[in-house]
Every structure is written in structure tokens, then in C-alpha cells.
Amino acid sequence: MKKRILLAVYFFCVAACDLEQTTQNTGNQSVPVPSAGEYLLHNAQIYTLDADSSTSTAMLFDSRGVIKELGDETIMLDAYPDATRLDVDGKTVIPGLIDSHGHLYGLAISLSQAQLQGTQSKQDVVRKLREHERNLSADDWLLGRGWDQNDWPVKEFPSSKQLDDAFPDRPVWLRRIDGHAAWANQAALAMADKDLSGDWQPKGGFIHRDSSGQPTGVLVDGAMALVEKTVPGISPELLQASLDLALQRMVSLGLTGVHDPGINREVLEVYRQRIETGRFPTRVYAMTDGAGATLDWLCENGVVDDDSGRLYMRSTKLYIDGALGSRGAALLADYADESGNSGLLFMSARELEISIEKALVCGLQVGVHAIGDRGNRTALDALENAIRRYPENPGRHRIEHAQVSTAEDVPRFSQLGIIAAMQPTHATSDMYWAEQRLGPERVLFAYAWRALLDAGARLALGSDFPVEEVNPMLGIYASVTRQDTKGWPQGGWYPQQRMSRQEALRGFTIDAAYAGFMEDVVGSLEPGKRADFVVLDRDIMQVPANEIPTIKVLQTWLDGERVYPNL
């Protein structure tokens, strides 16, 4: 264990390593270790996010990355004359940010694919794909994600035709921005392990077809697997390079932690290897990918709690419904813009309960993805029953997204101690069309942060990257304004649901830490906790709200080591 941490120091420390170092022989190699000194960060505006929301101007931490004391700069400069000084020039310091629902592995994969977010038309997509194709070898599929037909002049789902014309031979497989639909060319559809034509539909999914029963190129939810299971895997070299990019992006935006919802053992192993070789500048709180093999393994072997403090797995991610954009979210009544369609439950309430119990019996936490009001009610019902049966389970169960609720279900979150793991930028991405889907009544309980907070629920905030952008400043901005970055709509979209800056920051720090059972270690700057912190170029609590998205992270520190810049 000791060796692992020393290796991490070697790769990550920058400021600390510039200082006096000794060399310690750890057996087969020598690695530098920092001097046993202490570091005094000063000339800072520190928001500690402790229980009293106190502020400080100086913070002392040791070379092991443990915070020793916070307080007044003048007093502490006097009290610790020998500490190495880190003058941050009056800048703002906050605890390291934690994204409570961000797909790190998914981000790496998406960075290995064509990025189609923000494309303005189908022609625009094809242009980007041609650019991306230059990096591929002959056997590679052309993969991409991020398209959204709502951004295009023609808002209907596209067909394979545009892709077939440009790429007649190479399979093309493009996931929609929400990950709940995919657009394919005929070369990709032909790879499906089953003939996609006819009039049948797969369970929990939908194949778009023309009048003669031929698939037209878009597969929704459960239908996607028919093609997806034949997509060749990413090469180890491309994966490592993409993870470098993903981690670099995280730390450059002030993220020192992420809850990675839904990974398997293979990914866990990739993370672990990177930790061992000192290439993992963040903390990951991982959730299993459903109630299958990964959960079985976790139950058998016990929770993952790596010595490095950078990798945990003690949670299971389950799904009950799809997304609102593709009308896959399960609603209690029909979609306002499509009668006869109320979305899809992926499984019955009883089946969900069985999966939940499978995790609870092993002492694990459960996070259920639920978007529609029927999805959320089913998840709450199932969790309520399961919690009653396993009172010894430590709880802190979560509903991931908790996007559309009802007046009667909102109070149940706090009553049952269920954390709402929500993504503020989902509201500002969806606000252009969410009311069309939901109508004027249901929309009042959509993205209902204020209602949940007022009812006593705890919100753990995140981005759902790569579905949304990684930058947590965009989430904090959305939380306090409910506007897009152009300031639309004036006054905010259903502004009664806004949060305060303090609440938003808590959601990205201490409350996110709580949702991952890590509030004693990280999430606030207090003596005894890890020195995970971020230096910002402006005061996030004071700048005009419209400046929040452009706040820059100047430095990111993890375990008392600077991981950005100069990773």
C-alpha cells in the first residue's frame, strides 16, 4: 500500500515536489518523497462548506495530504513560520468538486468517438464524421454520439440514407445525446444478430421501420442492443489515451471526484491499474452496471475500498425507465405531445424490487435511474418495500435523475432517506421542449430542486457527462438561474425551483460526498479531511450569476498534491 501511494506522489505532485525532497528506496526502485513539512495556503478566500458555512483566509495541510487547521492568515503565518507557503493571491478556494453522476469511462469512450453535440444539421453530422474517419483503420466502425434532432431544421428522427450515401461500406453507429436512441447506416444494421425487418419489436425498445417493414435507421432503447452487441471493442491503446484526456478534462475543471454510475469489473480493473501506475488524479465512487455479474462478484468479495483512497465500489445502479427526449421515460399519463404513449418501464415493480434486494442483502447502496413520474413512483415504492425488509442496510439509497415527480411523491424522498441525485444542466438542456412533452401541470414537478429541498431531501448534484458537458460551473450556474448560458429565458425557467449558490455548491461537494459515504474524508475543508481543493479565478459566491459559467479553475489539488495544471 505504501508503495502505491508513493508512486502516486511521484506522478502527481508538482508544487510539493519542487520543494525539498528525499529519496527513499522502496525495493526495486527509488522514488522521491516530499519532505515531512507542512504547507500553508494563504492569501485566500476559502469557503470551507463545513456545517457552519464558515470562511477562512489560510489552511494548513501536511505532506500526507491531511488538513490540519483553517483560520486567519495573519495568525497562522505567525504560528507556522516553517510551513511552506502557498500564496494564492487573494483568490477563492473551495473544496474539490464532486460530480455525483458522471460517466468517467463513458467520457473516455465518447472522446474516442466522433463528438456530435451541437451539430446543426444532418449534413453537419456527416462533415464531422468524415473528419473523424481520418483516424480510423479499415476495420474500425465509425462511432459517434451526441446528436439531437431537436437542434436540426427537420426535427424528425433521421434515416440511414444520409449515412449510406457518405459511408456505404463502413458500419456507422451514432448514439443520440441522451444515449437512449441510435442512428445507424445499413452496413451497421446488417451486423445485427437478428433480421431487423418485419413487424416485431424487442422488449423495452423500438425499431423505426418504413411501410414495407424495413428498418429506417433509428433504434430506441431496448432495440439498440441488437446492433450494439456486435460493435467491436475499443483497443487498449485507444482506451488509455482516451482516459488520459477524460481525466485531464476533469481535473482542469476542478473535479476531484466522480460517482461513476454503472461500470463492470473490467473497467474497475483498468482504473485500478492506472492508480497503481500513478495515472489516476481523481476519486471514483463506482456503481455496478445493474444486478448481474458485477453485483454477484461484489457481493461475494465485499466492497471495493482501495488503499489509495481513490477507488470505491459499494453501490449498484439499476434502471427503471428511459429518457424524456426520446419519450422513453415512464409517465403516469400519456405524453402531452403523443397520445397513446406513456413511455416504457424497463421492468415491473416486483422485478425492480428483487434486484434492489439482491444489493441490499449484501449491505450495498442502490441508485435507481428514474426519469418519468411513473418511473420515480415505481422506484420509490420498490425502495420503500426493500428498505423495510433490510433495516440493517446502511441506506443512503438514491434515485438517479429524479426528473419528473408529483406533489405526493416529492416528500417521500426525505421520508425514506432517499437522495435525489440530480443534474441541473439537464433542466436547462431540456427546457426548450420539456413542457411540450409534459404539459403545464406535470412540468411544475419536473427538475423540482426547490420542492425537494424544501421537503427536506438531500440533493447530490452532477452533470451526467458525457451526456452534458463536464464543467461543474455550468451545473452551478443552471442551479441558481435555470437559464441557458445566453441568459434565456429571462428570469429563469420555472424560477421557483432555483437553488441558492450555497445549496448548489453543497450539492457538488459535501452532499455529493455524503451520497458516496465519503463525507468524513472529503466534501468540505476541515481538519482531519483530505486536502482536496480548487483555486478559482473569481469569487463564486459573489460574482454576478451570468459570470459563473466562465469562472476558471486555476489549480486543482488532490491529497495535498497539485494535479492541475501540469498533470
Going by C-alpha positions, the residue among 542, 519, 533 that lies closest to residue 561 is 533
Annotate 349-359 with b (16+ C-beta within 10 A) or e (fewer): eeebbebbbbb
Q: Toward Zn ion, which CB reaches closer, 142 or 267?
A: 267
Strands 45-47 and 21-25: unpaired
Q: Toward Zn ion, which CB reaches closer, 463 or 479?
A: 463
Q: How far is the CB of 464 from Zn ion (least distance, A)?
A: 4
Q: Does 464 bind Zn ion (CB under 5 A)?
A: yes
Q: Which stretch binds Zn ion (CB under 5 A): 126-134, 449-457, 464-472, 519-527?
A: 464-472
Q: Toward Zn ion, which CB reaches closer, 428 or 524?
A: 428
Q: How far is the CB of 213 from Zn ion (least distance, A)?
A: 33
Q: How far is the CB of 462 from Zn ion (least distance, A)?
A: 8
Q: Does 260 bind Zn ion (CB under 5 A)?
A: no
Residue type, 432: Y
Q: Which helix (H) or strand (E) holds 457?
A: none
- Residue 366, SS3 per DSSP: strand
Q: Which stretch binds Zn ion (CB under 5 A): 157-165, 436-444, 462-470, 508-516?
A: 462-470
Grid cell locating 364: 450495498
Q: Toward Zn ion, which CB reaches closer, 88 or 330?
A: 330
Q: Which residues contact 372 (CB under 8 A, 6 or more apart)?
A: 321, 324, 329, 330, 331, 332, 342, 343, 403, 404
Q: Does 178 bind Zn ion (CB under 5 A)?
A: no
Strand locations in 250-388 (E): 255-263, 283-289, 304-305, 311-319, 365-370
Gap between the Cα atoms of 376 and 329, Å rounded? 10
Residue reference for cell 439509497: 397
Q: How far is the CB of 417 from Zn ion (least distance, A)?
A: 22
| SS3 letters across 166-213 | HCCCCCEEEEECCCCEEEECHHHHCCCCCCCCCCCCCCCEEEEECCCC
Residue type, 44: A
Q: Which stretch binds Zn ion (CB under 5 A): 215-223, 458-466, 503-511, 553-561?
A: 458-466
Gap between the Cα atoms of 75 and 369, Å rounded? 49
Q: How far is the CB of 271 from Zn ion (least distance, A)?
A: 18
Q: Which residues contact 236 (CB under 8 A, 6 or more apart)?
A: none
Q: Toward Zn ion, which CB reaches closer, 124 or 148?
A: 148
- Residue 524, SS3 per DSSP: coil
Q: How far is the CB of 101 from Zn ion (least distance, A)?
A: 6
Q: Toward Zn ion, which CB reaches closer, 42 or 175?
A: 175
Q: Toward Zn ion, which CB reaches closer, 217 or 222?
A: 222
Site string for Zn ion, 349-368 (x = CB under 5 A): --------------------
Q: Which stretch binds Zn ion (CB under 5 A): 31-39, 143-151, 214-222, 459-467?
A: 459-467
Tell me the Ramachandran region of residue 478: left when phi exceeds 0, alpha when psi lies from -120 to 50, beta otherwise: alpha
Q: Distances from the Cα of 464 to the Cαs of 183, 192, 297, 425, in angstroms?
A: 21, 28, 26, 9
Q: Toward Zn ion, which CB reaches closer, 435 or 464?
A: 464
Q: Toward Zn ion, which CB reaches closer, 103 or 377?
A: 103
Q: Toward Zn ion, which CB reaches closer, 179 or 492?
A: 179
Q: How far is the CB of 269 from Zn ion (least distance, A)?
A: 21
Gap between the Cα atoms of 405 and 394, Å rounded? 25
Site string for Zn ion, 412-451 (x = CB under 5 A): ----------------------------------------
Which residue number has the CB closest to Zn ion?
Answer: 464
Binding residues for Zn ion, rule CB under 5 A, total: 1
Task: Name the site residues for Zn ion (rule: CB under 5 A).
Answer: 464
